[in-house]
């Protein structure tokens, strides 16, 4: 009797095993259109080239939102005039805004930006990890103008899932910096 019970239990365990099916390796493939750009000219004291796949939304005080509907992301541009020697406080605020994400970021590499031809100097930050923003920059002429840019997705941060879009938009933000020109202000 005991022998029959052991044989039945063995058959039961062997027969309940799931068949293993080998599946091909799957990878998420997100492709975005090759970027094409057009010049943005508004009443703001600066111009730049914007990706034609994005929508420009002018804001008050010469700020702008550049919305990317296909990724549900926005680059927020905030303009501040440099006056009364406030450049130090503008730089401090921009750097603080970036490094406030340090608690959720894995790393924040930065890249110095200099374009003497357009009198533009700044810093570009890549914020890697599940922080609220994945890229920020500031750019200034050191005398009259200061522009801050921040990238935000309209979703819970998940850097691994957003990575292809992050790379695409970081390139767009760099293009904004590279093509930005200031409108002269008379002193």
Residue 184 C-alpha from the chain's centroid? 29
User: Where are the domains positioned within the chain?
Assistant: 36-182
First to last CA, the chain: 104
Q: How far apart are CA 11 and CA 160, in angstroms?
A: 44
Place of tokens 């200099």: 114
Q: How far apart are CA 119 and CA 144, in angstroms?
A: 11
Angle CA 143–86–150, to nearest 5: 85
Q: What is the pLDDT of residue 98?
A: 85
pLDDT tens by residue, 68-119: 999 999 999 999 999 888 999 999 989 888 888 777 788 889 999 999 999 9
For the beta carbon of residue 18, count every other beta carbon within 10 angstroms.
5
Q: What is the pLDDT of residue 64?
A: 96
Residue 64 C-alpha from the chain's centroid? 16
Mean pLDDT of 8-20: 62
Place of tokens 């508004």: 42
Q: How far apart are CA 175 and CA 187, in angstroms?
A: 29
Q: Is pLDDT at 138 greater than 80 in this prediction?
A: yes
Q: Is pLDDT at 14 greater than 60 in this prediction?
A: yes
Architecture of domain 36-182: 3-Layer(aba) Sandwich (3.40)
């Amino acid at each position: 009797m005991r022998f029959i019970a052991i044989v039945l239990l063995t058959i039961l365990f062997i027969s309940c095993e799931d068949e293993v099916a080998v599946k091909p390796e799957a990878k998420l493939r997100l492709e975005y259109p090759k970027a094409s750009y057009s010049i943005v000219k508004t009443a703001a004291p600066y111009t730049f080239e914007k990706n034609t796949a994005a929508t420009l939304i002018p804001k008050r005080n010469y700020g702008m939102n550049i919305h990317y509907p296909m990724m549900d992301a926005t680059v927020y541009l905030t303009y501040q005039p440099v006056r009364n020697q406030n450049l130090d406080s503008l730089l401090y605020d921009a750097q603080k805004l970036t490094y406030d994400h340090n608690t959720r970021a894995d790393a924040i590499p930065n890249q110095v930006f200099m374009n003497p031809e357009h009198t533009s100097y700044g810093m570009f930050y890549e914020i890697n990890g599940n922080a609220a923003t994945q890229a920020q920059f500031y750019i200034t002429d050191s005398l009259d103008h200061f522009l801050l840019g921040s990238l935000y997705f309209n979703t819970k941060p998940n850097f691994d899932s957003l990575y292809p879009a992050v790379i695409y938009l970081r390139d767009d933000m760099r293009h904004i910096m590279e093509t930005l020109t200031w409108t002269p202000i008379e002193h």
